[in-house]
A and B are shown apart, each in its own frame.
Chain A
Amino acid sequence: MAIQKSRNKNIGITLYILFILVPIYWLLNMSFKSNEEILGGLSFWPTEFTLENYAVIFTDPTWYMGYFNSILYVGMNVIITLAVALPAAYAFSRYKFLGDKQMFFWLLTNRMAPPAVFLLPFFQLYSSVGLFDTHIAVALAHCLFNVPLAVWILEGFMSGVPREIDETAYIDGYSFPRFFGRIFLPMIRSGIGVTAFFAFMFSWVELLLARTLTSVEAKPIAAIMTRTVGAAGIDWGVLAAAGVLTIIPGLLVIWFVRNHVAKGFALGRV
């Protein structure tokens, strides 16, 4: 009976995962096919296996620079987000100051507006100060959404560290920066991992701001993918290969932070 039940459960889970993986499999499948085969008819695996589509991406700078641009501004964004949010979260978790609770909530309200709302102000502002089409422009724009979330998550982790540890460190003679680097940051490394993950994810998948604030120099991969319609029609195979390559960084990041994220969920701030 129990075995029967758990077998049913396993079948259910297997089916669920299969269904979820269907679109990803289809993408992978397409990326190894030629355009003729994709358009030719239904086939569940590549009959003529080809790496041609990947070769196009890795040899054409307009393609691979897209990845480079994306990774560059996402990396910048994660670093800036953490650099700004760590001290802010520490202040919120350790000190009382005028309007601290209101401000903490207000931070989160920043995320309530859709990114599209900020298109116009960002575009106009960056154009007038000469930041248009730079990596830092996109990184900074994404901070508007990532910093509040990062502060919120990190504050939860920091509040889990007893204040007495700070005090003991000062009593032992630690200066603040030394305590923060040597004792405090290692204690909340799960939180930093989770925060970096969320910042990365938002910035990596966000398309609207990234596309609007760039034109050539800092053009993200997702924007390049929307412009594959050539004279000969849509280049399905290359597009699929680009899609696969776009999934990979996210996959890697998730692989590295999966344990931390579980901890983050347990702490209730994610």
Chain B
Amino acid sequence: MELFLMTLVTGIMVGGIYALIALGWVVIYKCSGVLNLAMGELTLIGAYVSWWLYSTGIPFVVCVFLTIIIGIILGILTERIFLDRLIGQPLLSVIMVTVGLSFFFRGTAMFIWGPSTKTFHPPVFPQESIHVGMLSITPVFFWSFLVVIGLLIALVAFFKYTRWGLSMQATADDETAALSLGVSVRFVYAASWSIAFITAGIGGALLANINGLNINIAHLGLVVLPAVIFGGLNSIPGAIVGGIVIGILENMTGTYLTQIVPGGIKTIVPFIFLVIFMMFRPHGLWGWVRIERV
């Protein structure tokens, strides 16, 4: 029983980080209809930037804030340099550009920081477990989860209550109509990529604290994909729930199934689950079904 609860709690907490990265994915898809295949590499860049800042002796909290600012700058640059000239072009070309971007970012990270595994030194979070009732939680997970919850609330509030958030939702719904009302599509693209850089960056920084940091963190983009599709490609609550569900699934199989079926079962199960789920709900949990009028 205790093992089950522990696995569940850890699953939820890792899932929170997945949710954060999934959210970046959803925001870009929502606003521009583009499946951003460079999401894993955005995570990579964010993780390396925060590690590099931390290694110069800056406190971790400040590192996170700087990562956010650098994320915004990178988002704007990506829009200006790569995406601006693609407005009005077919979506598929834009998606192919994100593939190109993923190689570009990965190459850049390799070039600057090299292939060896980095760790945050000295460790950011204390090593002793926190005891809640009969559970003992590793502080890294606990604090990550708090950061994730805070960011998720901030982002949901941004979309719901600010003028910019509303413009972004409108653009997601009908780009031409939004443009006709003076909503700047360039701004919306830049904002959505900035948000993706921020969520991926912080998610990456937290995961690097848990597992150490090397080029493999880019695979997270793929790990998060089931969460995104499970929740529905354009649903923010869907991304959050999807991330947590995938986190739990992964940890559960890690704890219980790995003994029976050794090997990479942990990473495969979310995808198997996804395939079965999609048979019943092809739009995901809360994805948009186009409103058809008769």
A is bound by B: no
- B residues touching A (Cβ–Cβ < 8 Å)? none
- A residues touching B (Cβ–Cβ < 8 Å)? none
